[in-house]
Structure 1
Amino acid sequence: MIRQTNETAGIDDAIPEAGQPKALLREALQNAIFNSANFSSIATDANGVIQIFNVGAERMLGYEAADVMNNITPADLSDPQELIARAEALSAELDTPITPGFEALVFKATRGIEDIYELTYIRKDGSRFPAVVSVTALRDPQNNIIGYLLIGTDNTARKQVEADQAKLDQRLRDQQFYTRSLIESNIDAIIATDPSGIISDVNKQMEALTGCTRDELIGAPMKNFFTDPQRAEAGIKRVLNEKKVTDYELTARAWDGKETVVSYNATTFYDRDRKLQGVFAAARDVTDRKHLDVELEDAKSVAEKASLAKSDFLSSMSHELRSPLNAILGFGQLMESESPPPTDSQKESIAQILQAGWHLLTLINEILDLSKVESGKVPLSREPVLLSEVMLECQSMVEPQAQERGIRMTFPQSDTPYFIHADRTRVKQIMINLLTNAIKYNSAKGEIEVEYTESAPGRLRISIKDSGAGLTPEQLEQLFEPFNRLGQENGSEEGTGVGLVVSKRLVELMGGTIGAESSLGAGSVFWFELALVAEPALTKRESTIEGDDAEASAQPTHEPREVRPCTLLYIEDNPANMKLVEQITARHPNISLLTAATGNSGIDTACEALPDLILMDINLPDINGFEALNILREDPATTHIPVIAISANAMPEDIERGLKAGFFRYITKPIKVDEFINALSEALGFAEKDSAKSAQEPKLS
């Protein structure tokens, strides 16, 4: 039994009277303390040899009291490395050498210094656990040390809590670092404000944008850093009302006066209790984009002006070229059909004139067509198109040319009706272009094979294979270049080098692809692919009507008809064109021709002579043909007279405008004599029916 020391001297006073002797109560209290299982109590003699090893110590360390009492010191239960480290630390702290071992555990207690420290205890089974140990020196009445008391508690739970807390703290630091990194790595200036617009945080980009440090920015009103503070403040209020704002444009101003246009995007943010904390905003520098937008707008304007100028130029060029061509081809046609007929030598010369003239007209048309296609102004009417019908029409159009050259053509015979999603007119244009090329560049008495197959689900490939000389790989690469005839410029075949380019653009506009395969001596295969569509549902009546229309459209153009007796007024300022029409009408004695060189004189002549039909040029020296037509329509005496436009303005929009204005027909120069006479016959027939109808209507008295 350890003797009572000064540390336990007050126990008698602390024990109340309970009807038991104080000595018994004291003994019970001491036993309760030393035998507590919640902490270890180890008492040693002055040399450190264990004298008391309570139940708590047995539970914590796994030793029986008998195993350690009078055998070992507490140092033998501790981590040796920690004892060495403790001895070194104390030696440095107290400036005296201390031996590792028990002395290191009790040195401070021997000096009367309170000593509570952490160490690692080693259990009997070798396992370890952290403990907090309090060391007290036990003294006799003469204040001599007679032993030491080491009271320890298992610190594992607290250490685990500390470790968990350390992990949480580290995780929080990592999260804060990650969040900060995200904010700092953003290309936008990031600003966080409280609900009143006071800055609470910024990133480096905001510092660069304003030229201020983070400390200077935090706590300042955000609106102060923009050229329009009221608009900036309104942006904050809008975010608070609408929860977010996107693409709100502001101009930031740095302390040195530099201004930067920014796109402001913001949202509100809250704490975990959904309490509003403020506004989180990102301001992106869009100065370069604004400049680029202006540049793009300027470039677009320049391009539009250039496109308009190009269209105007092409339209003007077309007009200027068609006018002389009208005389060349018109008089050439008259000479070809002269009576008595020309001599063989004259026929050959006339044929050369006409061939060159028509080729020049083709070139003009194809250049205009290319211009329209490249500008994307080609009107397309995409619908289900029955391919077999288009094939028949194309076959009938090119077969005479093939027969003339002794070329055999083979078209597919299929019971399956294939419908492609395309513009019918443009598909015919593409097919005729490819077929014409296959004929022109084929070998003598060669072959052309047309076929179509499903190249992929929902796609149909139309192929035109010829038996010509073929193309080299270099020529294939240049195939779709404008005006590149691949060395055929000096050949016998005429061409422009434009047809394939136009075909390629048209195919692509209809969502398709086009290509070619060829090798020298083995001919070529030109193909294009378009989307397949389901057969449209038609009623029997609709099918019959459509079939009738198709059959009618497939009929060849009728022969020129003789014109019934009539008076024809031609308003034209070009003497050559006037002379041409005079000579054409001279071959028809039934036609009496009147002429006028200006719009106003033509109107006067029309009002006086009341002709059966009027031919009107559009570009007249005083008023244009549209103005003249309106005047004629407003006069009851001339409103019924059919007016046919004859003009070198041959762009599709020109023709459309003319027909909408009320011209009976719109004939483009150069005119084809047969078509011209047919148009006269149709107009006179229409006028005759209109007159008869008017005569039958009851007259109002």
Structure 2
Amino acid sequence: MNTKDSNDVQLTARKGERRHKKNAATDHELAVQSRDKLITAREDLTQLREDAVHVREVDIHEAETKQVATDNHILLLQQVNERLVISTIEAQKLAEKLQVTQIHLENAKLAAEQANLAKSEFLSSMSHELRTPLNAVLGFAQLLEAGTPPPTATQASRLQQIIKAGWYLLDLINEILDLATIESGKLLLSLEPVSLDEILHESKTMIEPLAQHHGIQIKFAPCHPNWFVNADYTRLKQVLINLLSNAVKYNCEHGTVEVGCNASSPEHFRISIKDSGAGLSAEKMAQLFQPFNRLGQETGNEEGTGIGLVVSKRLAELMQGSIGVESVVGVGSEFWIELTRNVAPQLAAKTDIPMAAESPQLNNVQSRTLLYVEDNQANLMLVEQIVARHPHLNMLSASDGYLGITLAREHLPDVILMDINLPGMNGYEALAILRSDPATKHIPVIAISANAMRHDIDKGSNAGFFYYLTKPIKIDELMAVLNNALALAECESINPKPD
């Protein structure tokens, strides 16, 4: 073998050896790479497993968290539901309690209304029962005082005490009834334009005798004739007389009372009554308008109940006004009443009771017949003796409505006096029968009753009585009304109304 070939063989062998080494290196490298990939794959798988475990753990944790939240929410809902059930039960119980309370309130209201009605009926009944004997006491006392022969000085003095005490007792009854009527909300007022000048003049006429009796000088300042207030005439006069009477009775010896009126604002007028009495402390001022509180005057010389000022205050308020006082101890007090302005009416109506001096004078020669329907013998005897002093009057009497109607139809009297509370048939029923009979419907019928509540008087007026007299009667007032009724009967007999 030549050298060349030998070299080729060697070269080929070296190439093969290099190739073998290269292949071996490649195989080793591939083996390493395979091993690395396997390791990487294992690591990735492990990571995947760990990730899967982590995800599962996260999912489990989230699920557990959600489950806890759900459980808490369910628990909360259960608690809320329990509270709602409890609240519903409590609401039902409260509703039941409210219903029971409402029933109790309605029952209490009904009981109060019934009690108030019972009180009103009791007061009306008591008024009637007290006025009936007072009518005899005062009526016969007036007859004795004006009798013939006249009473001796001692007898006259005693009669004056009887009459004074009787009328005072009547004032007390009226004050108590007024207060009860106001508190029950049943007092009806007729608000209209009232002249301050006129009502002060009338109050002055009524209070001056009391002032003279107590030695008190009373001064009325001039009042503008065109000043009018919105008030009930009768009730305003009642308030003024009460304030004036207090100013006189609780004044100092030889004291003074000053009465004035002024425009306290563009919408109001004020009437003030200033006395020179002992004055009132702040403590007494605070108690001034309390019922039955006489501020320590219970043992004094002046009579009273402590009701008058309370009634006056409430009357002023019902007339949409106010009442007040300013006082200084040792100097005196100034009471005032303030009312809303009003304009002068186009035509002022007189509502006063006709007095005997204002009544038409009848021809005493002509005989007139009076029928008195009355079941109380004392009242019957009283009117008989009053009528006996008037020769031109003849009197018939009946003790019940049935007999009264019979006598009215038989004798056709000129005027009828009718009691209201009669046995069997009351005065209203008797009046209705007389009015329905053509023979008696023209006869004036005068109610004379101890039912003296305001609604009684209004009922009598609305029923058609010529006039409604309340007991105890004043003889002058009775004769004034009788004269007016007889004058009406005489006019109708001369000029009869066509049927």
Select 1:314's aligned residue among 119, 123, 127. 123
Deviation for aligned residue 1:410: 2.5
Select 1:619's aligned residue among 421, 425, 436. 421
Q: Could you tell me how far apart the structure 1 residues matched to 2:113 and 2:160 are? A: 43
Q: 1:205 to 1:436 in 2, by over 3 A?
A: farther
Q: Secondary structure at the match of 2:394?
A: strand
Report what 1:326 is aligned to: 135
Report what 2:357 is aligned to: 558
1:471 lines up with 2:249 in the alignment: no
Contact 1:559 1:674 in 2 (8 A): no
Q: 1:586 to 1:310 in 2, by over 3 A?
A: same
Q: Which amino acid aligns with 1:661?
A: A
1:585 lines up with 2:387 in the alignment: yes
Q: 1:475 to 1:637 in 2, by over 3 A?
A: same
Select 1:363's aligned residue among 158, 172, 194. 172
Select 1:435's aligned residue among 232, 244, 248. 244
Contact 1:472 1:520 in 2 (8 A): yes
Q: 1:260 to 1:635 in 2, by over 3 A?
A: same
Q: Secondary structure at the match of 2:496?
A: helix
Instruction: Give the TM-score normalised by the residue count of structure 2.
Output: 0.77
Q: Could you tell me how far apart the structure 1 residues matched to 2:157 and 2:469 are? A: 28
- Measured against aligned partners, the alpha-carbon deviations of 1:33-76 in whole angstroms (never above 9, x if no partner) come to xxxxxxxxxxxxxxxxxxxxxxxxxxxxxxxxxxxxxxxxxxxx
Deviation for aligned residue 1:466: 0.2
Give % identity: 54
1:669 lines up with 2:471 in the alignment: yes
Q: Which runs of 5+ in 1 are unaligned?
A: 1-201, 213-251, 262-284
Q: Secondary structure at the match of 1:492?
A: coil
Contact 1:422 1:510 in 2 (8 A): yes
| Paired residues, number | 422
1:644 lines up with 2:446 in the alignment: yes
Q: 1:588 to 1:385 in 2, by over 3 A?
A: closer
Report what 1:656 is aligned to: 458
Deviation for aligned residue 1:205: 8.7
1:354 lines up with 2:163 in the alignment: yes
Report what 2:370 is aligned to: 568
Q: 1:423 to 1:667 in 2, by over 3 A?
A: closer
Q: Secondary structure at the match of 1:497?
A: coil
Select 2:92's aligned residue among 249, 260, 266. 260
Matches within 5 A, 1:224-235: none
Q: Secondary structure at the match of 2:169?
A: helix
Q: 1:260 to 1:416 in 2, by over 3 A?
A: same
Q: Which runs of 5+ in 2 are unaligned?
A: 1-76
Contact 2:356 2:479 in 1 (8 A): no
Matches within 5 A, 1:150-189: none
Q: 1:568 to 1:209 in 2, by over 3 A?
A: farther
Deviation for aligned residue 1:617: 0.9
- Measured against aligned partners, the alpha-carbon deviations of 1:608-652 in whole angstroms (never above 9, x if no partner) come to 222222111111122111111122222222222211111111111
Report what 1:395 is aligned to: 204
RMSD: 3.0
Contact 2:355 2:476 in 1 (8 A): no
Q: Secondary structure at the match of 1:361?
A: helix
Report what 1:597 is aligned to: 399
Q: Could you tell me how far apart the structure 2 residues matched to 1:339 and 1:527 are? A: 46
Instruction: Give the TM-score normalised by the residue count of structure 1.
Output: 0.56
- Measured against aligned partners, the alpha-carbon deviations of 1:567-598 in whole angstroms (never above 9, x if no partner) come to 11111111100110111111111111111111
Deviation for aligned residue 1:353: 0.7
Q: 1:291 to 1:398 in 2, by over 3 A?
A: same
Q: 1:209 to 1:614 in 2, by over 3 A?
A: farther
Contact 1:374 1:505 in 2 (8 A): no
Could you tell which deviates more after superposition, 648-657 or 596-605?
A: 596-605
Question: Whose RCO is larger (CA < 8 A, sep 6+)?
Answer: 2
Contact 1:330 1:673 in 2 (8 A): yes
Q: Could you tell me how far apart the structure 2 residues matched to 1:554 and 1:531 are? A: 26
Deviation for aligned residue 1:480: 1.4
Q: Which amino acid aligns with 2:357?
A: H
Deviation for aligned residue 1:523: 1.4
Report what 2:256 is aligned to: 447
Contact 2:356 2:477 in 1 (8 A): no
- Measured against aligned partners, the alpha-carbon deviations of 1:9-48 in whole angstroms (never above 9, x if no partner) come to xxxxxxxxxxxxxxxxxxxxxxxxxxxxxxxxxxxxxxxx
Q: Could you tell me how far apart the structure 2 residues matched to 1:559 and 1:340 are? A: 27
1:345 lines up with 2:154 in the alignment: yes
Deviation for aligned residue 1:456: 5.4
